[in-house]
Amino acid sequence: VENNTDVQESWRVMLKITANKEDICDSILALQYFDSLNVEVKLFADKLINLIIKPIIIQNLQVDITKSIHVSIMTLKVSKIEDEYLSITIGKLKNVFKFLNSTLPINFNEIHIMSYLGSYASQQFCNIFKDKALFNAVPIKYNKLIDFQDELNEVLELNTYLNELGFFEKSNNELIKYTENIDNLFFNKISQIYYDKARTIIKKDLHDLVEVNNENRWTPDEDNNEDNSFCQTFFAYPQSKVSKSLLEFHNLIDEVASEMSSIPENDAWRYHDILNNITIMYCDMVSTQHSKALELNPQQSGILY
């Protein structure tokens, strides 16, 4: 496995197998003889995950495969598409395993090669696929969850394919269980998004102010008296300023409340929890986050409270 991160416009990783299946079997036999097979397979499994699987999932790299008589090459190249559908990523992952299955011997000396490789790499594969590929693909709008079911069917097919290939054990249904909790995944994802937005707002400067209620701002030209000799603007709401971050936080609350109104009633409590949590977090953390400024600048304390 060769890794090239210097050339941005060309290949990033190349997996080259320069032997036929008989030669590979001889190499396996030699490694068994010197009691080094486990070490080498684990090393290859780590490279497979870190240099091939992860870049495909995280960086959306393209997969190109070329084969000749005794040389098989799989190349990962920079993709011009920054974001892809989950089904496309799954298709590229399948190509990787098809390449390995067609190039490596299936069985040798009572060893099923893909199962042996899977014993070292399958759990890492499940973790990276769940945490990155699947979690990132979950939509952030509730009304798009129904359409996302087609993508989940692709995940089930991938799980079945890897079971048939032997890379997954027959009892391994980790991806299936993960997709069965898609509603929880959705709410976990949007919770994380809203919490991150709230944290970003909390960190902003409190003294970055914006004027509010300026629609009733008094000007000398408007100083007209009625018959009772009172100025028209005498009872107008006074001009005031608040932190921009507070208005951003208010808009965030409106955003969550708006989403809550568009989902089934039995799930609305989840949005209510998000609203409650980000409000408590704002009230509890903003004074701590800006403690030094509040201690040294009484005006900022006034703005906060």
164 and 195 within one domain: no
What pTM was computed for the model? 0.78
Distances in Å between the alpha carbon of 47 and those of 7, 131, 234, 294?
A: 20, 19, 75, 51
Q: Does 139 lie in the same domain as 201?
A: no
194 close to 278: Cβ distance less than 8 angstroms? yes
The answer to whether the CB of 75 falls within 8 A of the CB of 139 is no
Same domain, 201 and 270: yes
End-to-end Cα separation, the chain, in angstroms: 60
**Which residue range forms the structural domain that includes residue 30?**
11-171
Residue ranges in the chain whose pLDDT is less than 50: 7-8, 218
Residue 257: its pLDDT value, please? 92
27 and 146 fall within a common domain: yes
H or E stretch at 15: strand 11-17
If asked whether residues 52 and 104 sit together in one domain, one would say yes
Whether the CB-CB separation of 202 and 281 falls below 8 Å is answered with yes
Residue 248 to residue 243: CA distance in whole angstroms: 9
Domain count, the chain: 2
CB atoms within 10 A of CB 251: 12
Same domain, 149 and 29: yes
Q: Is residue 166 domain-shared with residue 274, that is, in the same domain?
A: no
207 and 154, same structural domain?
no
Co-location of 28 and 154 in the same domain: yes
Query: Considering just the CA atoms, what is the radius of gyration of the chain in Å?
Result: 30
Both 210 and 80 in one domain: the answer is no
Three-class HEC string of 203-250: CCCCCCEEEECHHHCCCHHHCCECCCCCECCCCCCCCEEEEHHHHHHH
Both 142 and 204 in one domain: the answer is: no
The answer to whether position 222 is within a domain reads no
pLDDT at site 219: 55
pLDDT at residue 8, as a whole number:
45
CB-based contact 43:60 (threshold 8 Å): no
**Which of 215, 219, 220 is CA-nearest to residue 240?**
215
